[in-house]
A and B are shown apart, each in its own frame.
Chain A
Amino acid sequence: MSVQYAAISWNRQKKVYDITFLCLLVLYLGTFVGVGAWRNPRETAETLLIRALGTAAFLLLNVVLCIGPLARLDSRFLPLLYNRRHLGVTTFLLGVAHGGFALFQFHALGNVNPLVSLLISNPRYGSVADFPFQALGFFALIILFLMAATSHDFWLRNLSAPVWKRLHMMVYIAYGLLVMHITLGALQSEPSPILSGSLMLAVATVVSLHLAATFREKRIDCAKRKALDDGFVEICAIDRIPEKCATIVSLAGERVAVFRYDGKVSAISNVCQHQNGPLGEGRVIDGCVTCPWHGYQYRPESGAAPPPFKEKIPTFRVKVVGQAVLVHPLPNAPGTYVEPAALEPGKEHT
């Protein structure tokens, strides 16, 4: 199966999502500058804009960081996850606009290179009260740039999923740097209980959602499944799997998607060959498991893409005993046909 890269793959839902988001963003920036000018008439427009852009970028980064664990905790948040990269790129663009204006206002008017000036004009790196917090924002921005620049599918495929994932995990370093950037910058110059309370609330929300999602996933991934004498392990009761959908379990160091369809059950690796999309979150359409990310298809009984396409993923032996679905944890070579387990007559559909 082959798809051609598009600049941005928009569909109707994504367009609605992006337009709504852009309207909210413009509303936020306008309100921030308007209210700021009304309450502090002495502030310059540049200063208000720098603050509006900076707070918008940080708020958005918090939203982006919350979407991942929310989607893992409750599948109703999955549509937000599939559209998350536009939010991430916008976070970077807001950050770069904030940093660019600040660099121009504070460092571009002398005869020193503005970036050198940013790093050396305040050398009090040992002080808390006068810490050169702008440098922290600069390094966070470099990380956000690397993430935004590699957000296209081309990078996921060409850097390989593990490298891409590790690179994008650096967002947590950027987040930490930005929390320090705000704490040592804005909160030092303008101590305000509302500002520091909001910052603490944001950090607490991000941290607690991540902890909750991690504990939950650990339960799935570390669930002890006892192997029977023939090596099969019990997965779940058949009625836990909705028709044409899958349940996901962790076996052999990776996730397995166990699909129920047309009175049969098949198990395949959960990892799409295209870009590691979660096949178990897809559906069986026209007899094929369809990846929710870009629509690559695989036959559930063989893990092979329908001809003329050539992608293949590992399959697993599966059987149904009474109500229980059992899977053998040893993966078969990608594309190996495995007879699906047939459901008892009368149990074909929920």
Chain B
Amino acid sequence: MAAMFEILAKAFVYGLEVYAGLGFVFALVFVWAGVQSLDSEAQGSGVGFRLLILPGVAAFWPMLLYRWKKHVTEPLVEHNPHRQLSQQ
């Protein structure tokens, strides 16, 4: 039981470290070269903004990588109840 728990704990920690490591590498590239093509408000933004979003990019890198590959150019306008009802 204790050995099993140790294996799980190690898998969790090492998995987390690998995920974060990959995310960090992706984040360095993304904040430098990718963010402005995904969100027009990021165009021309400074180093401070790019550094501030870097930890989040390292955490949510699969989502951003997917959007970058799909050439998404702007976040979607959200569909709240008023917008949905007004289209009916």
**A residues apposed to B, CB below 8 Å:** 2-8, 113, 115-116, 119-120, 123, 145-146, 148-150, 152, 154-155, 157-162, 252-254, 256, 269, 271, 273, 276, 313-314, 330-334, 336
Closest Cβ of chain B to A105, distance in Å, is 19
A158 interface neighbour in B38, B55, B85, B86, Cβ under 8 Å: B38
Contacts of B2 in A (CB 8 A): 123
Decide if the interface of chain A is mainly helix, strand, loop or mixed: loop
| Nearest CB on A from B53, distance (A) | 5
Known: A254-B81, A332-B86. A5 touches B41 (CB 8 A): yes
Alpha-carbon distance A146/B55, docked complex (angstroms):
9
In Å, the complex CA distance between A313 and B85 comes to 12
A331 to B39, CA, bound (A): 29
| B42 in contact with A5 (CB, 8 Å) | yes
Closest A-chain residue to B8, C-beta based?
A119
What is the chain B residue whose CB lies nearest that of A329?
B85
Contact between A252 and B13, CB atoms less than 8 A apart: no
A8, B56: Cβ atoms under 8 Å?
A: no
In the bound complex, CA of A281 to CA of B71 (Å): 36
Cα A4 to Cα B17 in complex, Å, equals 33
Chain A neighbourhood of B38, CB < 8 A:
158
Other contacts beyond A6-B45, A7-B51, A7-B52: 7, CB < 8 A: A5-B42, A113-B10, A116-B9, A149-B56, A149-B58, A160-B78, A161-B78
Asked if B44 contacts A4 (CB within 8 A), the reply is yes
B12 contacts A by Cβ under 8 Å: yes
Contacts of B64 in A (CB 8 A): 158
In the bound complex, residues from chain A placing their C-beta under 8 Å from that of B56 are 149-150, 152, 154-155
Which residue in chain A gives the minimum CB-CB distance to B41? Answer: A5
Q: In the assembled complex, which residues on chain A have CB atoms less than 8 Å from the CB atom of B77?
A: 273
Tell me the B residues contacting A by CB distance below 8 Å: 2, 5-6, 9-10, 12-14, 16-17, 35, 38-46, 48-49, 51-53, 55-56, 58-60, 64, 75-78, 80-83, 85-87
Residues of A near B35 (CB, < 8 A) are 154
- A123-B5, A149-B55, A253-B81 as given contacts; A5 in contact with B86, CB under 8 Å: no
Instruction: Kindly identify which residue among B13, B44, B76 contacts A119, using a CB–CB cutoff of 8 Å.
Output: B13
Whether the pair A271, B13 counts as a contact (CB closer than 8 A) is no
Q: Give A270's nearest chain B residue, CB to CB.
A: B82
Contact of B80 among A4, A271, A336 (CB under 8 A): A271
A160: B residues at CB distance < 8 A: 75-76, 78
Instruction: Report yes or no: A4 in contact with B43, Cβ–Cβ below 8 A.
Output: yes
> Chain A residues with Cβ under 8 A from B76's Cβ?
160
Partner of A149, one of B13, B40, B59: B59
Taking a contact as CB atoms under 8 Å apart, the answer to whether B45 and A5 are in contact is yes
- Chain B residues lying within 8 Å of A152, measured Cβ to Cβ, are 49, 52-53, 56
Q: Does A154 contact B49, Cβ atoms closer than 8 Å?
A: yes
Q: Are B48 and A6 in contact (CB under 8 A)?
A: yes
